[in-house]
């Protein structure tokens, strides 16, 4: 059984069998998994074997995103366990954003991409986006640049326009209907080096 140390000073080992299992689950090649593992261990400064909210804040591209806190919340709470994201969970989340399709699973399906995006809005996990959740996102995006009354009006108008059944919330189906003209696979995909 051969073990790979994925970082120059990594104390956590990834077994070849784990690499193969993760490759089957995610569609990543063994080399891509090794690269992801290097990134994972670089973020895991305490060498704990998992990432926390603070570890994820070290990702510069994420740190400058106005939705940073919400994205981290989705990663840790929805894809991790007990406030921690282990490497296998990390690889599965990133698999959602792969460009290439994987015959073994549908982690990177359009539906899973939309579920991830929907989860950024739906934090009470009731499968609906209400006005309060929409306002939370608007405040993250525009901060104090728009008066509260105007943000309320935008949220109300958005709910009214997207709500097909008049229940004053946006369901996952209504959310998907709204985005059907957008190439979600293209917009929410990234190319991973081989």
| Whether the domain at 1-95 and the domain at 107-194 fall into the same CATH topology | yes
Q: Map out the domains of the chain as residue ranges.
A: 1-95, 107-194
pTM: 0.82
Q: pLDDT tens, position by position, for the chain (194 residues)?
A: 444 444 433 445 788 999 999 999 999 999 999 999 999 999 999 999 999 999 999 898 888 899 999 999 999 999 999 999 999 999 999 999 887 665 666 788 889 999 999 999 999 999 999 999 999 999 999 988 899 999 999 999 999 999 999 999 999 999 999 988 888 777 787 766 65
CA dihedral for 151, 154, 160, 161, sign (positive or negative): negative
Q: If one looks up domain 1-95 in CATH, what number appears?
A: 1.10.238.10
- Write down the CATH number for the domain with range 107-194: 1.10.238.10
Core vs surface per residue 54-89: b (16+ CB within 10 A) or e: ebbeebeeeeeeeebebbbbbbbbbbbeeeebbbeb
Say what the pLDDT of residue 95 is: 92
């Amino acid at each position: 059984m051969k073990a790979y140390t994925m970082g120059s000073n990594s104390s956590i080992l990834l077994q070849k069998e784990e690499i193969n299992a993760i490759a089957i689950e995610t569609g990543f090649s063994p080399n891509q998994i090794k690269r992801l593992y290097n990134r994972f261990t670089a973020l895991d400064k305490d060498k704990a074997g998992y990432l926390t909210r603070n570890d994820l804040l070290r990702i510069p591209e994420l740190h400058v995103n106005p939705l940073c806190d919400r994205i981290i919340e989705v990663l840790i709470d929805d894809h991790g366990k007990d406030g921690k994201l282990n490497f296998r969970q990390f690889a599965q989340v990133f698999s959602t954003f792969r460009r290439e399709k994987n015959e073994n699973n549908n982690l990177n399906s359009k539906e899973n991409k939309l579920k991830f995006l929907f989860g950024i809005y739906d934090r009470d996990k009731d499968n609906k986006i209400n006005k309060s959740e929409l306002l939370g996102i608007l405040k993250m995006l525009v901060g104090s640049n728009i008066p509260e009354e105007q943000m309320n009006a935008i949220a109300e108008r958005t709910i009214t326009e997207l709500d097909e059944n008049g229940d004053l919330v946006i369901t996952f189906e209504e959310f998907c209907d709204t985005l059907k003209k957008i190439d979600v696979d293209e917009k929410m995909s990234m190319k991973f080096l081989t």
